[in-house]
């Protein structure tokens, strides 16, 4: 009888000494060395601008062949690969984003296929991109693409805090928008709410609000915005596998002889799959 009692004692001792698995999740995106991440992105924008005002202003707009309302639609699907290199002694490694396939609604691809955005990852940080390799893009276009890619990845930088089901946090991201010889300060507040954790996948609900303020005192401008979305996070691989959000913005600007109302709907969705090199 002593032997079974001894075994039972060891099992009990082991179970008591094993630390329990932490509850909840820390939303942290982290890319690993020597991996290939397949990224598929869909962007869609529909904008309607409606003009109103004095007859002389309306005639002027018509003579300039400005349609009232002016409606524009843009929709682009992009397939890209983020390939990471070997980790060096200081835990840094290369990260190159290559645009493989691009399809747009109007057939006009702003980013040529084969364009490479080069960068580096240091330890657990997000990629820091520093160079665009392209035979056709101008210097200004390369600078703009570099900033766009960097902003896209930096939106996945979150405060490191453990969340339980129902917990939420908010992130403010400032930006600028030029409008009619003026500049609008915009603060986008995104709130993330943890809905569930199942099979090592965490599901989040997203909501956005926009605070728009002209840099100079300008009572002729008003603007509002909101958004809804969702996010799936692979806990084991520190990776956002699915991300989608739809935002609606409304702006009004009054000028001397006319005013315009701008309404725009933006849709963004992105899926990411990880594989080996």
CATH of residue 112: 2.30.230
Q: How are the residues of the chain apportioned to helix, strand and coil, as percentages rounded to the nearest 5?
A: 15, 55, 30
For residue 202, being part of any structural domain is answered with yes
**For residue 277, what pLDDT is reported?**
52
Question: Is-contact 22 199, C-beta < 8 A?
Answer: no
83-106 average pLDDT score: 92
30-56 average pLDDT score: 95
Query: Which residues, other chains included, contact 267 with Cβ-Cβ below 8 Å and sequence gap of 6+?
Result: 42, 43, 44, 45, 244, 245, 246
In which band, very low, low, confident or very high, does the pLDDT at 220 lie, cut at 50, 70 and 90? Answer: confident
For residue 37, being part of any structural domain is answered with yes
- 2 or 120, which is more confident? 120
Question: Is-contact 89 123, C-beta < 8 A?
Answer: no
Give 276's strand partners: 35
Residue 2 has pLDDT above 50, yes or no: no
- 176 or 2, which is more confident? 176
Q: What are phi and psi of 19, to 5 degrees?
A: -65, 140
Check residue 138 and report its DSSP letter: -
**For residue 132, what pLDDT is reported?**
96
**For residue 15, what pLDDT is reported?**
45
pLDDT in tens, 52-72: 999 999 999 999 999 999 999
82-101 average pLDDT score: 95
> What domain range includes position 137?
22-276
In which band, very low, low, confident or very high, does the pLDDT at 121 lie, cut at 50, 70 and 90? Answer: very high
Chain mean pLDDT for the chain: 89
d(CA 84, CA 95): 4
d(CA 16, CA 114): 55
**For residue 84, what pLDDT is reported?**
96
- What tokens were used for 155? 């939106």
d(CA 244, CA 231): 7
d(CA 226, CA 184): 17
211-227 average pLDDT score: 87
In which band, very low, low, confident or very high, does the pLDDT at 1 lie, cut at 50, 70 and 90? Answer: very low
216 Rama sector, left if φ>0, alpha if ψ -120 to 50, beta otherwise = beta
For residue 260, being part of any structural domain is answered with yes
**For residue 10, what pLDDT is reported?**
42
Domains in the chain: how many in total? 1
d(CA 130, CA 69): 40
**For residue 21, what pLDDT is reported?**
55
Beta pairing, strands 239-254 & 258-276: antiparallel
User: Read out DSSP for 159-197?
Assistant: ---EE-TT-EEEEEEEEEEEETTEEEEEEEEEEEEEEEE
Cis preceding-peptide flag for 92 (omega within 30 of 0): no
**For residue 5, what pLDDT is reported?**
46
For residue 44, being part of any structural domain is answered with yes
For residue 5, being part of any structural domain is answered with no
Residue 11 has pLDDT above 60, yes or no: no
For residue 4, being part of any structural domain is answered with no
Global pTM? 0.85
For residue 16, being part of any structural domain is answered with no
Query: Which residues, other chains included, contact 123 with Cβ-Cβ below 8 Å and sequence gap of 6+?
Result: 91, 92
113-142 average pLDDT score: 95
For residue 2, being part of any structural domain is answered with no
In which band, very low, low, confident or very high, does the pLDDT at 22 lie, cut at 50, 70 and 90? Answer: low
In which band, very low, low, confident or very high, does the pLDDT at 276 lie, cut at 50, 70 and 90? Answer: low
């Amino acid at each position: 009888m002593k032997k079974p009692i001894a075994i039972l004692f060891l099992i009990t001792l082991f179970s008591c000494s094993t630390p329990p698995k932490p509850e909840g999740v820390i939303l942290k995106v982290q890319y690993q060395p020597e991996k290939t991440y397949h990224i598929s992105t869909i962007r869609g924008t529909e904008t309607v601008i409606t003009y109103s005002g004095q007859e002389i202003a309306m005639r002027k707009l018509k003579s300039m062949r400005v349609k009232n309302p002016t409606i524009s639609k843009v929709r682009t699907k992009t397939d890209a690969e983020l390939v990471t290199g070997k980790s060096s002694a200081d835990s840094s490694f290369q990260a190159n984003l290559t645009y493989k396939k691009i399809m747009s609604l109007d057939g006009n691809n702003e980013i040529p296929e084969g364009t490479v955005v080069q960068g580096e990852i240091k330890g657990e940080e997000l990629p820091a991109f520093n160079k665009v390799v392209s035979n056709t893009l101008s210097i200004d276009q390369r600078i703009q693409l570099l900033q766009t890619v960097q902003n896209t990845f930096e939106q996945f930088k979150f405060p490191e805090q453990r969340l339980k089901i129902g917990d939420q946090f908010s992130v403010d991201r400032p930006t600028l928008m030029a409008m009619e010889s003026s500049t609008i300060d915009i603060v986008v507040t995104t709130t993330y709410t943890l809905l569930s954790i199942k099979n090592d996948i965490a599901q989040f609900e997203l909501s956005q609000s926009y605070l728009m303020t002209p840099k100079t005192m300008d009572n002729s401008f008003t603007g509002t915005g909101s958004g809804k979305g969702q996010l799936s996070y692979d806990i084991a691989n520190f990776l956002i596998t699915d991300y989608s959000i739809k935002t609606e913005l409304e702006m009004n600007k009054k000028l001397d002889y006319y005013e315009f109302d701008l309404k725009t709907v933006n849709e963004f969705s992105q899926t990411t799959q990880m594989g080996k090199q």
